[in-house]
Homo-oligomer: A and B are copies of this chain.
């Protein structure tokens, strides 16, 4: 689906907004901004260089400020918060849901935090503390502690009347949670059952006692998998004693899935999804040093391997011209295996049980493609330099390096995980280091032995 046109609507909004900003007519900007949702405003603010961003931010409806702050990434949020008075901030975040407030609390100035906390009632402060006590990327950090609960012994009719009196329902709402006197989860009453069953019968008769529950310490990514696997809209979060701590709803899970996706694409280039596209140059540059530095080290390792064979490179200059071909073919083949493995392990579809079968298959594929491309590259080398021996040497090197790529691609992820390194981040660098060095050793080394005879 990525072949499709980009998300044209956002781009169109951005164009119109930039035009309005350039025109200098504030009213035009305000009118454009007022028709957008908080998430859309957030996306636009992320897309603007700082001066324009702050100009638009001043024109956003203050009632929306809190939700926009929750939506934007960390660095952009910091740039917006720096632009706000303490009073504005207090007003902006005061009405946020507790789970959203928990997400951005750390980024607020201490004075603002103190004011916001002091204006809360005891129950809300306790609930906020509860959310803050769990990691941000766990079920506990995702959940909304503000839950609508009912008791098992009341009739459906009483529940319906209770909802009517309350007058306001949660935004996402497909199940009512049934708890006992102590707050322990007994089950869930589906809205469909509430609406269609005999109103005089008690909740206990219709509640689902086997509903899906989310343990509070589950990671956000596993929460997302649970929602996907069971098509959940909302789910109760419980502790080891089945005490109901909060709920997670699908809209929060959608954000988790999108962030995970962004993260895995950016990580492969050593980038961070919390960065501001328009951060100051020095800051952006420094953020990339680590990745450039790591890759410099691996490039120097390849150079070290070449250094060993300087005489060969001098005497048979064809090896100097052709070794990048051997290097890169191994890297590409290995990256394909690596990508399959990293993705399979991330989805749980590759475990220690089926990994050996997959390794055998990848080696077989590497062998087959090694044979195919050793013929192709060997043929090209013979045609180019007119030396059969050179063609044979490069063919063997290609075969060796494609097998090395398959082997490295299959084994590196579990090796890195044992060292507690994210394979999505480091897998590509380690893999190409292996295929670069093995490619050079195999090709230039073999040329030294076969063609120079030592």
Q: Which residues of B have CB within 8 Å of A369? A: 285, 288-289, 292
A327, CB-defined interface residue at 8 Å? yes
Q: Are A348 and B6 in contact (CB under 8 A)?
A: yes
Q: Are A2 and B262 in contact (CB under 8 A)?
A: no
A212 to B36: give the CA distance in the assembly, Å. Answer: 12
A98, CB-defined interface residue at 8 Å? no
Closest beta carbon of chain B to A213's beta carbon, Å: 14
Q: Which residues of B have CB within 8 Å of A163? A: 195-196
| Binding-face segment, A79-87, A112-120, A225-233, A237-245 | A225-233
**A window 9-26: CB within 8 A of B:** 9-15, 18-19
A400, CB-defined interface residue at 8 Å? no
Q: Are A227 and B254 in contact (CB under 8 A)?
A: yes
Partner among B47, B222, B372 whose Cβ is within 8 Å of the Cβ of A289: B372
A307, CB-defined interface residue at 8 Å? yes
Partner among B253, B278, B284, B296 whose Cβ is within 8 Å of the Cβ of A325: B296
Q: Are A269 and B436 in contact (CB under 8 A)?
A: no
Q: Which residues of B have CB within 8 Å of A277? A: 340, 344, 349-350, 358
A424, CB-defined interface residue at 8 Å? yes
Partner among B254, B269, B314, B346 whose Cβ is within 8 Å of the Cβ of A228: B254
Closest to A308 in B: B321
Q: Are A196 and B174 in contact (CB under 8 A)?
A: no
**1/0 per position for A12-47, CB-CB distance to B under 8 A?**
111100110000000000000000010110011011
Closest to A321 in B: B306
Q: Are B310 and A317 in contact (CB under 8 A)?
A: yes
| Binding-face segment, A123-131, A164-172, A445-453 | A164-172
Q: Are B351 and A160 in contact (CB under 8 A)?
A: no
Q: Which residues of B have CB within 8 Å of A15? A: 351-353
Q: Are A350 and B47 in contact (CB under 8 A)?
A: yes
| Binding-face segment, A55-63, A201-209, A328-336 | A328-336
Closest to A332 in B: B295
Would you list the 4 A-B pairs with minimal beta carbon distance, nearest first?
A10-B348, A261-B261, A7-B348, A18-B353
Known contacts A164-B195, A250-B250; 11 additional CB pairs below 8 A are: A2-B263, A7-B346, A9-B225, A14-B348, A14-B349, A44-B349, A233-B251, A285-B365, A285-B372, A291-B332, A298-B328
